[in-house]
Structure 1
Amino acid sequence: MADDEGEGWLQHPPFGDRDEYYDTYPRRDLGELSYEQLAEQRGPLREVGLPTDEDVARLEEALTTAGRKAATTVAVALLNVAMAAAERNREKYGHGQSNLLTAGRPGSWEASTLNSVTWSLGPNIKATRVHPEALQTIEEVLRGWVLDRPVVVEVAENLAAVISRVADDHGGWEAIADRWLVAHEGAETVRNWMCSRAFRTLTEYDAVFLAERNPESLRQQVAEEQKWWLEDEGRRTKSNPAGFANFSRIMSTHVPLTPEKASADEGT
């Protein structure tokens, strides 16, 4: 659950003699509190819930509209909502600290990466790399998740799930990230979070890197992914034709020939 200042609280596991207490993670300076103490000292409290189908549909439409500006637009939206949460606490409690964006699941690697994207990437994105209409929609949804409703939605994992679905449907990481982000030294960290729920694992970024550094690893990864696609015809033709088309293009463009195939071609 989340307290009124934006901290997420986790109940102790249901064994031992402390299971009625809650604490925060990774922050530890607030101590252990019972539900009654939490409600009295840091209330009103809000439970953590799931996003609505309408929220998910709005996010998918906004991300699709943003195209290759999607990832950078998300980073700016996260920054704007984080700053709004901080300003709320500044006005209400006299300090600008708020962890509302990660209150739904504090301490997870997704939450940690979300914070990094918010505060390291978000401030460095120029306006020309942001889709204005998509930004407005994404901000509205995220504000609803953490600021404006009686139930808090866990952001890091739920947002990554929606971004991953859009990436899958439109060709992978490169379909939602502009060329500057793809080439950024922190791109892998951003991609690993934003596409952490993607069905496809092989991206153009991976293929180019592996083709130069480790061709055998690339062949193995392609073989595994090809098996995944071939297991289900509907996956290729109905549920994710764009993803399969992208995989086929990567395979034909970047996968080096096996020694046997190369020899055969040289002899023809």
Structure 2
Amino acid sequence: MKPRLSEDNFVTCALKDMYAKCGCLEQSRNIFDRVNEKDEAVWNVIIAGYGIHGHVLKAIELFGLMQNKGCRPDSFTFLGVLIACNHAGLVTEGLKYLGQMQSLYGVKPKLEHYACVVDMLGRAGQLNEALKLVNEMPDEPDSGIWSSLLSSCRNYGDLEIGEEVSRKLLELEPNKAENYVLLSNLYAGLGKWDEVRKVRQRMKENGLYKDAGCSWIEIGGKVYRFLVSDGSLSESKKIQQTWIKLEKKKAKLDINPTQVVCS
């Protein structure tokens, strides 16, 4: 006999969200199917769960089922569907849903909806369409949208749009090193080494340096940072030896990380 679910949809959504974020979609769907009174939040969590893991057909199927059941989609619903379309590269469908938000459902797209679609267009190499959408947005685009578009320009080697986007981005965040690194990488990818040197010189003049990527953990209220080949901690050797032992044990047992989370 299956254990009874909490009648509190907040608790139910938290459980579904936990499983979905761990990639345990079967468990998340199982909880969803056992909820009798499904409100917007219950639908949104499962749609977003399928969306972020690239199961676009299931997300769209649930989106249609949600409406058939008389539950009206809100901005979170559409964000989940747009994320699904982005992951699957379904540009036409993503643009359709963005257009339907306000025209059919009276839901005004927010920056996060536009950001998702701009990223989707950029990933598909439709940079002119992405820039056009950014310029036509009713709200002022934030740095995240410009940064996403600049990354796409770097990936596709589009210098003209990339330089235009970088100007907008540096106007918003003139003291963020990552923005200069994106522009530098765009020039480097096109073999424009003089421009690369100019960008790096500008960073140096402004006292900007890109932080190295790191991992961190909090133990007993204290945060420990780890960099690649970092030997600054007194326990570094012990940590590395323990990690090697865990790797060997994992290989020996052939542990699947998802089994640990989902069991």
Give the TM-score taking structure 1 as reference length.
0.30
Whichever of the two has the greater Rg, that structure is 2
Indicate the structure whose relative CO is greater, using CA pairs within 8 Å and at least 6 residues apart.
1
Query: Taking structure 2 as the reference length, what is the TM-score of the superposition?
Result: 0.31
